[in-house]
Amino acid sequence: MKVALINGSPKPRGSASAMLLDGLRACLPAGLECVECPLHAVRPAEDPARLLLDTDALVLACPVYVDGLPAHLLTALEGLEAPLRRGGHGQRVYALVNCGFYEGAQTVNALDMLRCWSGRAGLIWGRGMGVGAGGALHALKKIPMGEPPKAALGEALAGLAADIAAGDGGPHVFSAPELTREEHCDATQRVWRRLAAANGLTEEDLNKTEFT
């Protein structure tokens, strides 16, 4: 069995989507082949249709943008509908969507958009997993998936991996790191400050409301 791991974050490196896909890959059975499909831009270097037609299941990982999908991903997925309808063989689609809000349930609209897309592309919907506190995952990246506060997340990813391997479907499942709201805010803000500094910005710059 061949599974396409599609990273639909616009970030080519260091995305929460990549961390979640890594966690999922580690849970998939050894005999199962994984194919990386980076979808960070509307037109990636490698033609995704050619890659996807040769697989048995698709896993789409991406962030929530404005309660839906990032614009580049929406355009890329629309472009894939016709080739997948023509050449696909009813592959199952699974989604792994993360969001910045604390509650994983905030991903529900994006997951439903991907479910609708799978029907339009002539594919079969498997199930969706929504992850909250995606920004905090960067602060927790040294902690192995499956260990607190990523225990529930590890368990949910193992469940998704088992469904992919068995070709099973089901309702969306929501998860998040076991952090209090306060810990989530602290962790996310630490990440933002670090990213700001790495990009030559100060903490004051982050609070700016007027730009010249």
Ligand X SMILES: Cc1cc2nc3c(=O)[nH]c(=O)nc-3n(C[C@H](O)[C@H](O)[C@H](O)COP(=O)(O)O)c2cc1C
What residues line the site for ligand X (CB under 6 A)?
Answer: 9, 11, 15-17, 63-67, 98-101, 106, 134-135
Tokens at 17, concatenated:
């989507």
Q: How far is the CB of 65 from ligand X (least distance, A)?
A: 4
Q: Which residues make Cβ contacts (< 8 Å) with residue 205, sequence separation at least 6?
A: 196
Q: Cα–Cα distance between 104 and 73 in angstroms, integer?
A: 20
Q: How far is the CB of 139 from ligand X (least distance, A)?
A: 12
Tokens at 193, concatenated:
């400050």
Our CB check for ligand X shows the closer of 56 and 103 to be: 103
- 96, 131 Cβ separation under 8 angstroms: yes
- 129, 160 Cβ separation under 8 angstroms: yes
Q: 3-class DSSP state for residue 10?
A: coil
Q: How far is the CB of 106 from ligand X (least distance, A)?
A: 5
Return the DSSP state at 53.
Answer: H
* H helical segments located in 47-98: 48-53, 71-87
Our CB check for ligand X shows the closer of 88 and 134 to be: 134
Q: Which amino acid makes up residue 57?
A: A
Q: How far is the CB of 89 from ligand X (least distance, A)?
A: 29
Which residue minimizes CB distance to ligand X? 134
- 153, 129 Cβ separation under 8 angstroms: no
Q: How far is the CB of 103 from ligand X (least distance, A)?
A: 8
Our CB check for ligand X shows the closer of 98 and 118 to be: 98
Our CB check for ligand X shows the closer of 89 and 208 to be: 208
Our CB check for ligand X shows the closer of 17 and 118 to be: 17
